[in-house]
Chain A
Amino acid sequence: QKEVEQDPGPLSVPEGAIVSLNCTYSNSAFQYFMWYRQYSRKGPELLMYTYSSGNKEDGRFTAQVDKSSKYISLFIRDSQPSDSATYLCAMSEDSSASKIIFGSGTRLSIRP
């Protein structure tokens, strides 16, 4: 079993829809949770970072962590075609994040 599981998609939604992307994990020691966005033929870029359980909002993006269920989510409101990318969740046990475990990524397509 992988430490981090992520539905690969592809997920296709119309412009303006609310998107929900999810990851589950098995390692209860994970405390630091990140979401990266990767456009085609580019390296990933950090979108959101959260520590422990709870919600964090940044513009149209909300990251949610439920440590009791070992489940994290990324919500995108008012989705735009420019949000079309692969989204990777990532996790680390410690604040130094020397080792980061990534999910396999969900490919998202926003239809105009």
Chain B
Amino acid sequence: EAQVTQNPRYLITVTGKKLTVTCSQNMNHEYMSWYRQDPGLGLRQIYYSMNVEVTDKGDVPEGYKVSRKEKRNFPLILESPSPNQTSLYFCASRDTFLAKSPQYFGPGTRLLVL
């Protein structure tokens, strides 16, 4: 089944404790992206990757890191999480660079930073 998977789905952590949220897609998509979704603010792009070893900042990259060493994986790293990073995170992938190509979203990771 074609899908984007994220792990963990739910995470409670404390300020400053490094964490990684994994994202994997099995559709051989070139484009991958991370978003956070907050009430009243909608989806905001954190980082995106057009291909392996190619990543770029979205609108809200501060406090996050990403890497794209393999086509299928795009982990999101929070080196020193803070409470303002409490949010719902979505990973997405797309077949081509073109806007008309639909993005497939993962199921989301709900993060609470205490």
A residues whose Cβ falls under 8 Å from a Cβ of B: 4, 6, 8, 32, 34, 41-46, 49, 51, 88, 90, 92, 94-105
Contacts of B90 in A (CB 8 A): 43-44
- List, in ascending order, chain B residues with CB within 8 A of A105's CB: 42
- Chain B residues in the interface with A (C-beta under 8 A): 4, 31, 35, 40-45, 48, 50, 56, 58-59, 90, 92, 94, 97-100, 102-108
Residue of A nearest to B33 (CB): A100
CB < 8 Å A-B pair total: 72
19 CB < 8 A contacts A-B: A32-B99, A32-B100, A41-B108, A42-B105, A43-B92, A43-B106, A44-B43, A45-B102, A49-B102, A88-B42, A95-B97, A97-B98, A98-B31, A98-B48, A98-B97, A100-B103, A102-B43, A104-B42, A105-B42
B43 touches A96 (CB 8 A): no
* Across-interface contacts of B105 in A (CB, < 8 A): 42-45
Residues of B contacting A102 with CB < 8 Å? 35, 42-44
Alpha-carbon gap, A101 to B45, bound state (A): 8
4 closest A-B pairs by beta carbon, nearest first, are A43-B105, A97-B99, A46-B102, A104-B42
- Interchain nearest-CB distance for A102 vs B (Å): 4
Contact A43 B99 (CB under 8 A): no
Contact A46:B98 (CB < 8 A) given known A103-B42, A104-B42: no
Residues of B within 8 A of A45 (CB): 102, 104-105
Q: Which residues of B contact A4 (CB under 8 A)?
A: 42
A104 to B44, alpha carbons, bound, how many Å?
9
Q: How far is the CB of B6 from chain A (nearest CB, A)?
A: 9
Max chain A Cβ within 10 angstroms of own Cβ: one of B56, B58, B59, B103: B103
Complex Cα spacing A88 to B41, Å: 11
Residues of B within 8 A of A97 (CB): 94, 97-99
